[in-house]
Structure 1
Amino acid sequence: MILRSVNHENVVRFYRACTKQRKYLIVTEYMAGGNLYDFLHKHNNALELSLILRIAIGISKGMDYLHQNNIIHRDLKSANLLIGNGQIVKIADFGVSRQRSQEGDMTAETGTYRWMAPEVINHKPYDHKADVFSFAIVLWELVTSKVPYENLTPLQAALSVRQGLRLVIPSGVHPRLSKLIQRCWGENPHTRPVFSEITAELEDILRPIQVASRSKGSHRHIKQKIQMKSQR
């Protein structure tokens, strides 16, 4: 029902559901690139900063749209992010999602341990900021191409988060990106940024990189023209 109600370029598109057979089926658009988890970890893809930022911006925009529509995903992780043509990334799997307007506080331990916010692990009341924590783990995956807490079992990872431990951000990561990850996985949900702020920050980091890339491309084009002239 949630998937049917949403429409955004960074959320997987719902087409039909089949409910007459024993096994219920959902038909969505085809995402040729598979999921982000496999793309990063099974194919050992190390991504350039510009691509990391473009993927992160797409996820952030999709999550911002969901939160603006009072939808909390509750299981945001790289395996639930699908890659389409042109490396566009879309949010999928709304099996445990919930409308914020539903009655009662959310305290259920819902999601996947390696991406789960501490307030969820601790069975405390939580809200949309739990998704922001999960996004921080995805962002860490993008900059490292590593599985979160790869040397720990899922339960050990959850216990580490509960104790306040966080993943190590490599020193070579863009300082503003590193700072954003730390803000997003902060212990206090109220100090975590909302997705509109995250998108703005990511776009601001990307802007000079795109300018530099275009400038490099134009210099290369001029150089080729000069070489062609000299050959004449």
Structure 2
Amino acid sequence: MARGSLYDYLHQQRGVFKLPSLLKVALDVSKGINYLHQNNIIHRDLKTANLLMDENQVVKVADFGVARVQAQSGVMTAETGTYRWMAPEVIEHKPYDHKADVFSFGIALWELLTGEIPYSLLTPLQAAVGVVQKSLRPTIPKNTHPRLGELLERCWQQDPTQRPNFSEIIEILQQIAKEVADKGEDRHMSKSSGGFFSSMLKGHH
């Protein structure tokens, strides 16, 4: 994957994603994870270091070192993954399911949005304790698209059953992407029509 991991792109190369590209990346990742979940596989270590980008900015989910096929009972235990991206139920060694990936996706999405490392002022252990005991979450920037902010908050709910699944996440991201694209077209329209009217007015003087 020519452009390496999203972690390196954001933190080594100081790369930034404008909203339309950010939504496309989020959709690429969601579709990858949705495919896993439909096949009863939980990734368990979803983070920007495991999301790889090709020369066309297409992002693929990688590193199945800790991915596991979900037990028939539908619950899994065993501590794995990386604290800063890890769901509270996984940190606490509680049984967990595919919703643990949804939590980690929310954190990765926040990282794409801000270009920052989650809880950068804390050690991984302090972050883990905060997430579990104080429901600590990263701060959503003020200028975030409201529907995207809402999606983040839903993805990192403390109660896994309150988090959306990936088929719903894909739908939401597609809706936001459509709104953003339509807004962009409105801007072009008003600019061009504005120019047209002002030149008409000038013509009258």
- TM-score for both structures, normalised by structure 2: 0.88
2:151 counterpart SS class? helix
Match of residue 113, structure 1, among 62, 72, 83: 83
The whole-number CA distance in structure 1 between the counterparts of 2:192 and 2:149 is 34
Specify the alignment match of 2:184 in structure 1: 213
The Cα offsets for residues 29-57 of structure 1, whole Å up to 9 and x where unpaired, read as xx000000010111112221111111001
| Deviation (angstroms), 1:109 | 1.1
Distance 1:211 1:175 in 2: 16
Alpha-carbon separation, structure 2, partners of 1:128 and 1:104: 9
State the partner residue of 1:204. Answer: 175
Q: CA offsets, 1:16-40, max 9 Å, x none?
A: xxxxxxxxxxxxxxx0000000101
Shift of 1:105: 3.9
Greater displacement, 152-161 / 204-213: 204-213
What are the ranges of 5 or more consecutive residues in structure 2 without an aligned counterpart? Answer: 197-205
- Write the distance in 2 (CA, Å) between the matches of 1:83 and 1:112: 20
The answer for the alignment partner of 1:46 in structure 2 is: 16
Say whether 1:176 aligns with 2:147.
yes
2:96 aligned with 1:149, yes or no? no
Letter of the structure 1 residue corresponding to residue 61 of structure 2: I
Identify the range of structure 1 (135-144 vs 37-46) with the bigger mean alpha-carbon deviation.
Answer: 37-46
Hey, which of these two has a bigger chunk of helix by percent? 2
Which residue in 2 is equivalent to 1:65? 35
Secondary structure of 2:56's match?
Answer: helix
How far off its partner does 1:210 sit? Answer: 1.7
Q: Secondary structure at the match of 1:64?
A: helix
User: Whose relative contact order is higher, 1 or 2, with alpha carbons under 8 Å and at least 6 apart?
Assistant: 2
Give structure 1 stretches of 5+ with no counterpart: 1-30, 224-232
Tell whether the 8 Å contact from 2:109 to 2:152 is kept in structure 1 after alignment.
Answer: yes
Residue pairs, 1:71-86, within 5 angstroms: 71-86=41-56
User: Paired residue for 1:229?
Assistant: none
Which amino acid is the alignment partner of residue 179 of structure 1?
A: E
Tell me, what secondary structure is at the counterpart of 1:137?
Answer: helix
Aligned to 1:140: 110
Cα offsets for 1:54-76 (capped at 9, x unmatched): 10011011111110011100000
Which residue of the other structure, out of 125, 138, 156, is the alignment partner of 1:185? Answer: 156
Q: Which residue of 1 aligns with 2:92?
A: 122
Q: Compute the RMSD of aligned alpha carbons.
A: 2.0
Partner Cα distance (1:47, 1:102) in 2: 39
C-alpha distance in 1 between matches for 2:84 and 2:78? 16
The sequence identity of aligned pairs, in percent, is 56
Q: How big is the shift at 1:220?
A: 8.2
Aligned length, in residue pairs: 194
**Offset of residue 208 of structure 1:** 2.1
After superposition, the Cα gap between the structure-2 partners of 1:107 and 1:49, relative to the gap in structure 1 and judged at 3 Å, is: same
Secondary structure of the corresponding residue to residue 173 of structure 1: coil
Q: Deviations over 1:81-129 (max 9, x none)?
A: 0001210000000000001146784221110000000000111000000
CA shift, 1:159, in A, is 0.8
Residue by residue over 1:167-216, the C-alpha shift from the partner in whole angstroms, topping out at 9 and shown as x without a partner, is 11111111110010000000000110000000100110010222343565
Corresponding position of 1:37 = 7
Instruction: Give the TM-score, by structure 1 length.
Output: 0.78
